[in-house]
Amino acid sequence: MIKRKLSAIPLYLQILLGMIVGIIIGLIALFINGERFIQDWIRPWGQLFIRLLQLIAIPLVFISLVNGVSGLKDISKFSKMGGKTILIYIFTTAFAVLLGLGLGLAVKPGELVDQSQIVHIQEDYYSIAEQKKQEAAETQKQGPLAFLNDIVPNNIVGAAADNSKMLQVIFFAIFFGIASLTIPPEKVKPVLSLFNGLNEIILRMIDYIIRFAPLGVAALMAGLIIDFKGDASVFGALAVYALTVVVALFSLIFFFYPALIHIFTQTRVKKFLKAMYPVQLFAFTTSSSAATLPVTMETVEKELGVAKDTASFVLPVGTTINMDGTSCYQAIAVLFIAQVLGIELGLIQLLTILLMTILSSIGTPAIPGGSYVILTMVLTSVGIPAEGLALILGIDRPLDMLRTAVNVTGDATVAIIIDKK
């Protein structure tokens, strides 16, 4: 009976409830001097949740990327359309990441946490800070093309064994996928069928892991409350972080995409926004680009006059590789967590975030909660403890819904541009 009642509660409410329970447990522990109990018996469950996310990151990105790239075989039929589509998708994603980085660096929501708490956290993560300083010093000694060594692996097994080398796994997956496009379909069909099956298994595993999220978030939040000694400034900073994400996402919907429509097409912006409203509402409700795809296709064809051939190619590709809202949010989230933990990110780390977010958007599942795994991967790649993810998970559901609306709006925008060109 209890299990049935719990299953009736939406997952995002379960996660929010887990966050609240974790805060309460942490505050009670502070009041009764039970910090040791939290460290020994509660926090390990949160760390287990993070380890599960990290466990699935490499297989998810590799298999999703191979599927995504090899699935672009229609480019041979629409070579000109395919090249333009991918370039525009990369451009919009890059803009979204830069917007997120710009707002995150300008607002600095994580620095609103009380300075004494930041110093306390810096002491806890002193070894990480020192390691990043050494990496920065080594980077300065290297030549301008040294970053290529961080992209191209000399051992794919070694790269796959280290989450911080995800960029090398991404390179190999894209290389693998491109190579598969050059081989006759009948020869690679068994391999691609295997990857399709593996992809379904990975998505099911993610579903199981995300179901564990409420317990994991509760445990992580209890541990963070102990770390921050119950300081209320953390929650004020969290509110500013959420507002920063909302401003960035609304900027994409109401300024960036309309500007592209106005500059590159003859479609009226007012007509575009009016037609997309039901699609955005559906995406907001389902929090899934994949589930919204049929609605998006029908809208751009019937309401916005996009040719069926264009829509049937550009929109499915966009669902796979275009995650503007997700990418923008991830940039702000990484900066926020780094600021709260008192970890400074240099130019190399910011460029890594930009590149990782653009490339990993291809491997983000178009399902609710799929971005959690990718965000864990991005955090690890720039040396930020993945446990910081707990700070934002409690309020992430409405932001996830909104960024899905941004994702489908970006897909429709590119479809209109390609069709009118």
Domain regions of the chain by residue span: 11-420
| Backbone φ, ψ for residue 320 (5° rounding) | -85, -45
Number of helices followed by number of strands (H, E) in the chain: 22, 0
| Backbone φ, ψ for residue 264 (5° rounding) | -105, -5
pLDDT score recorded for residue 136: 47
Question: DSSP per residue over 268-309, as a string?
Answer: -HHHHHHHHHHHHHHHHHH--HHHHHHHHHHHHHHTS---HH
As a whole number of angstroms, the distance between CA 181 and CA 303 comes to 34
Residue with tokens 């978030």: 217
Take residue 181 and report the two structure tokens written for it.
Answer: 């496009």
| 11-420 is a CATH 1.10.3470 domain | no
Residue with tokens 């959420």: 242
Letter for the amino acid at 183? I
As a whole number of angstroms, the distance between CA 62 and CA 166 comes to 9
pLDDT score recorded for residue 52: 85
Which of these, 385, 355, 366, 341, lies nearest to 166 by C-alpha position? Answer: 355
As a whole number of angstroms, the distance between CA 58 and CA 169 comes to 8
Listed in order, strand segments (DSSP E) in 313-409 are: none
Percent of the chain as helix, strand, coil, to the nearest 5 = 85, 0, 15
Take residue 383 and report the two structure tokens written for it.
Answer: 């040396």
What is the pTM for the complete model shown? Answer: 0.73
As a whole number of angstroms, the distance between CA 42 and CA 52 comes to 16
Tens-place pLDDT, residues 271-313: 999 999 888 987 886 677 776 887 888 889 889 998 887 887 7
Q: Chunked in runs of 10, what are the mean pLDDT values of the chain (421 residues)?
A: 57 80 91 90 88 81 77 56 83 94 92 67 53 52 60 86 75 85 89 91 84 86 76 76 94 96 91 91 75 83 85 78 89 90 84 84 60 77 78 78 91 91 67
As a whole number of angstroms, the distance between CA 181 and CA 197 comes to 19
